Structure 1
Amino acid sequence: MALGSLRPGPLVEQATEHLREQIVAGRWPVGTRLPGETALAASLGVGRSTVREAVRALAGAGLVTSRQGAGVFVVRTRPDEDFGTRLRRAAVTDVYEARAVVEVQAARLAARRRTAADLAGLESALTARREAAGRGGAALVDADLALHAGVVAAARNPVLTDLFAEFAPALRAALIGLAALPGPDGSGRAPVDGDASHIALVAAVAARDGDEAARLLEAEFAAPPARPRG
């Protein structure tokens, strides 16, 4: 059965997508060898070099693998997703739980490793968060995440910093969505809370009290918020 000729345009991208669709649809189950370059090129109406590049892209996505002297075989029917894509697809509760694991340990390390410059940054972030509280919505979410990012950065662990940076876009989108929910008074703006706990968090880091900093974050992350708390 012919695969069908491609439309004018970027042929490698089209060939890759066409073959990906066929694999996902089950035309070639896991373990099946793909037709050779010549056969695929003829079916798609493209050159062998285009097919070669398309197969290389499919291999990069984890769908196929090349076996020396045997051909190209299907190894998965769903492409690999990078961490950011998985986070965007994840439930907010799952992201929040993972965030808690990262931030609680980061707070312990921050209390031990923070510098005077770190504390100055946290105080500035705390002030910005308080100023954003009256505006609510995205302004408060952004200011809140900036404060939490400052705590993680003070841990002086680039892996934790990078993990938080990966979480941040998914967290921001979820928390802004929650912020848009009507508050108890029907005002359309969720109530602002958490100021006292964030003041205490910064104070614990300043006092090098890692246990208290961790305890405050554990309390904050005990349950996913029904309203944006940060």
Structure 2
Amino acid sequence: MKLVKQTVAQHTVEIIQEGIKTGTYPVGQALPGQRVLAKELGVGRQAIREAISALEGLGYLTVEAGRGMFVVEPEASGSRWRFASQYTIEDVYAVRTALESLSVQLIAVKVPLAKINCLDTLVNQLEAAVDDSDLPAMIKADSQFHRKLAELSGNPLLLEILDTFNMVMTESKNIAFLDTPETNHRSVVAEHRSIVVSLKAKDPEAASRDIKAHILNAQKRAHRVRRKNVL
């Protein structure tokens, strides 16, 4: 069964996250500079830049001009929306709703059941991450699920649009995952499963309705996180 292939940047994010988790990069301490980090991890500078941006969005790093990159607890970052000068959260979720609704409608109409079944594996991975309270793994499984929907849609332009704005889309989803009560994370699993059920039923209207509800709920979760960190 073919799943989503990781990019070098995504793999780099996981390595740094693991380093933070194990204390290789302690909270409160600065990370090595980009050039040193690239050499240590055996990746290019572009992958390091993308990974740092993603980790900053997740709340694992804060970048201080003239001082460097510092490891922080995710909750301490304030869940800043770094793209506020360009887009509101509402802007991003409105676009996600339109694009992902199109994805699932195309899948329900055109894609054989045998290919849709791969989504079960991704939902199971998400559920396992929730069981383990593993936030990075939750985010990874969620990202893979949504990108797989775009792949299965068979529309290369739709996939290209999502990839072009991947950093913005991903950060909007990551903020929602910081809505920490376990019931909220389990709701995400249930919402994903509902989408898959509608796709397997080959019901484009139900699939569209399910993913719109899921994205609306994610938007609400993101707003709760941001309000909590502003107050």
TM-score of Structure 1 vs Structure 2, range by shorter chain:
0.5 to 0.7
**8 Å CA contact retained: 1:111, 1:210:** yes
What is the rounded CA distance, in whole Å, between the counterparts of 1:220 and 1:151 in structure 2? 14
Aligned to 1:42: none
**8 Å CA contact retained: 2:99, 2:158:** yes
What is the rounded CA distance, in whole Å, between the counterparts of 1:166 and 1:86 in structure 2? 15
Aligned to 2:161: 163
Aligned to 1:142: 140
Equivalent AA in structure 1 for residue 198 of structure 2:
A
Matched, 1:179 2:177: yes
Superposed structure 1 runs of 4+ greater than 4 Å apart: 85-88
- 1:49-73 Cα offsets, whole Å, 9 max, x none, are xxxxxxxxxxxxxxxxxxxxxxxxx
Q: TM-score, normalised by structure 1?
A: 0.52
Matched, 1:109 2:103: no
Question: Greater share of helix residues, 1 or 2?
Answer: 2
Matched, 1:225 2:220: yes
- 1:139-186 Cα offsets, whole Å, 9 max, x none, are 2122112112222221111111112223332222233334345x46xx
Matched, 1:124 2:121: yes
Which one has more relative contact order, counting CA pairs under 8 Å at least 6 apart? 2
Q: CA deviation at 1:213?
A: 0.1
Aligned to 1:205: 199
What is the rounded CA distance, in whole Å, between the counterparts of 1:114 and 1:87 in structure 2? 37
What is the rounded CA distance, in whole Å, between the counterparts of 1:136 and 1:150 in structure 2? 21
Structure 1 residues 225, 142: closer, same or farther in 2, change over 3 A? farther
What is the rounded CA distance, in whole Å, between the counterparts of 2:159 and 2:171 in structure 1? 19
Count of aligned pairs: 139
**8 Å CA contact retained: 1:142, 1:172:** no
Structure 1 residues 208, 132: closer, same or farther in 2, change over 3 A? same
What is the rounded CA distance, in whole Å, between the counterparts of 1:225 and 1:89 in structure 2? 20
Unaligned runs of 5+ residues in structure 1 are: 1-84
Q: CA deviation at 1:116?
A: 4.3
Structure 1 residues 91, 130: closer, same or farther in 2, change over 3 A? same
Q: CA deviation at 1:88?
A: 8.8
Equivalent AA in structure 1 for residue 136 of structure 2:
A
Q: TM-score, normalised by structure 2?
A: 0.52
What is the rounded CA distance, in whole Å, between the counterparts of 1:203 and 1:88 in structure 2? 38
Matched, 1:94 2:91: yes
Aligned equivalent of 2:208, options 201, 214, 225: 214
**8 Å CA contact retained: 2:83, 2:168:** no
CA RMSD of aligned residues (A): 2.8
Equivalent AA in structure 1 for residue 87 of structure 2:
A
**8 Å CA contact retained: 2:172, 2:222:** no
* Identical counterparts, % of pairs: 20
What is the rounded CA distance, in whole Å, between the counterparts of 1:142 and 1:89 in structure 2? 25
Q: CA deviation at 1:117?
A: 4.7
